[in-house]
Amino acid sequence: MSKADSKHELVENFTAKAVAANSVVHEAPSIAAALQYVVDVCESKSPAEILADEPDAEQGPPGPNDMPTRVKRIVAAPDLPDNDFAELEKLCEVKGFACIRHGLRKHLAGIDVGVSTAVFGVAPSGTCVVNTDREEVRLAGMISESSVIFLRKSKIYPDLSSIAQLLRERMNEAPATYTTFISGPSRTADIERVAAVGVHGPLEQHVILLEG
């Protein structure tokens, strides 16, 4: 099997497992297309519910949980490079959305879309591995109703053991590091063994596969 065929097989395996874990997987030909996809996700979803007191937020009608909804939609992308964030900000402005990369603590009641960048993907489980050293990045993946993760196809690995040494090197870089393994949207069966989605995090997860 050629290297190209092997990589293609990894991508197909990752996609199948991620879909099985209730992720939406989308292949984007460019970062511009990926950013447009983020805005489309924000536009197509229902308004985010405000699940805690946030006095400055303009409130709309109640959502499914009988909580007020947020009128101005928010996209948070704290770890995007400056140029990509500027482009996303322009796209959001056209739609009337707020686009932020700092100050997520002010919106702990919930935001619409959080954007993260995975450093690795693990094919057998459809898992995205995200560096979450910064609190803003952790919050983007926790308080958003829809999580969107960018993942380069070249960063998909065949198993966890393939990234073990890379993780060890990262852990040795700083006194404290945070790494998050994400496989699908938040879900639990803690309450009377009934599966529930979105209890501890996003209601839905989108993985955007990028070339390169």
Task: Quote the DSSP letter at residue 26.
Answer: E
Question: In terms of pLDDT, which residue wins out, 170 or 135?
Answer: 135
* Domain residue spans of the chain: 3-210
Task: Report the C-alpha gap between 54 and 32 in whole angstroms.
Answer: 33
- What pLDDT score does 175 carry? 73
Of 41-45, 48-52, 170-174, 192-196, which one has max mean pLDDT?
A: 41-45
Question: In terms of pLDDT, which residue wins out, 196 or 19?
Answer: 19
- What pLDDT score does 171 carry? 86
Mean pLDDT, the chain, whole residue set: 91
For residue 5, is pLDDT > 70? no
- What pLDDT score does 212 carry? 78
Distances in Å between the alpha carbon of 100 and those of 86, 115, 201?
Answer: 10, 10, 19
- What pLDDT score does 189 carry? 46
Taking domain 3-210, whether its CATH number is 3.40.50.300 is answered by: no
99 exposure class (CB count in 10 Å sphere: 0-12, 13-18, 19+): buried
Question: In terms of pLDDT, which residue wins out, 198 or 95?
Answer: 95
